[in-house]
């Protein structure tokens, strides 16, 4: 018998989200059953509906919660940072460290967008674009100031995000490179891609 989450509603709801995230990560949205979810949390299947309306609602809550938390944390990381070089450095540092410590959330957010119903998908797509806009604004500011060479801000934004987020798939905490080394290396790679000169120094 799975360990029961207790009678506290908030704790049970959090246990459901955590278990749902793990099950979707391990088995995919289609492969996750509410019966398995209830068993993992330690409640009766019918009791799940005291906390989630449907399986689809749970997926939407997981993805929207991830994106809203991510964007709010980014805004906090960028607060008070002035100038496109320093803001790009802060963005790369934040994005990598945040994602490297949340492998399940990142994987589910990227792989299960397809599993959302159209209305829910539109909301998550909007939240993703809102996050992407932060980086696009940094690149546009740097290009306007002559600090960056960015022929197409939108394409550069997508390329940089794909490069940074892709690290989650191969980085190992006990591997050859430390987290700090990975962050510093990727900052240099990003910066060299949007500047004409390769002679760059991390601010």
Q: What is the pLDDT of residue 174?
A: 85
Domain limits, the chain: 1-52, 54-193
Q: What is the CA radius of gyration of the chain?
A: 20
* CATH classification code of 54-193: 1.10.357.10
Give the class (CATH, top level) of 1-52.
mainly alpha
Gap between the Cα atoms of 181 and 177, Å rounded: 6
* pLDDT (average), residues 85-91: 96
158-197: pLDDT as tens digits: 999 999 999 988 888 888 989 999 999 999 999 988 875 4
Q: What is the pLDDT of residue 195?
A: 78
Gap between the Cα atoms of 37 and 130, Å rounded: 31
* pLDDT (average), residues 8-22: 87
Gap between the Cα atoms of 78 and 87, Å rounded: 6
């Amino acid at each position: 018998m799975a360990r029961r989450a207790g009678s506290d509603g908030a704790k049970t709801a959090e246990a459901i989200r955590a278990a749902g995230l793990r099950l979707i990560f391990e088995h995919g949205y289609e492969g996750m059953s509410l019966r398995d979810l209830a068993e993992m949390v330690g409640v009766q299947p019918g009791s799940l509906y005291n906390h989630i309306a449907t399986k689809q609602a749970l997926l939407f809550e997981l993805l929207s919660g991830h994106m809203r938390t991510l964007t709010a944390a980014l805004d906090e990381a960028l607060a008070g940072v002035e100038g496109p070089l320093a803001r790009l450095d802060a963005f790369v540092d934040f994005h990598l460290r945040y994602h490297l410590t949340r492998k399940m959330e990142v994987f589910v957010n990227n792989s299960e967008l397809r599993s959302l119903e159209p209305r829910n998908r539109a909301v998550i797509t909007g939240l993703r674009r809102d996050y992407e806009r932060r980086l696009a604004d940094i690149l546009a500011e740097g290009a306007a100031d002559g600090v960056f060479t960015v022929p197409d801000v939108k394409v550069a934004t997508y390329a940089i995000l794909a490069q940074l987020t892709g690290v989650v798939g191969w980085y190992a905490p006990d591997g050859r490179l430390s987290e700090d080394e990975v962050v510093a290396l990727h900052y240099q790679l990003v910066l060299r891609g949007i500047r004409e000169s390769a002679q760059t120094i991390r601010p």
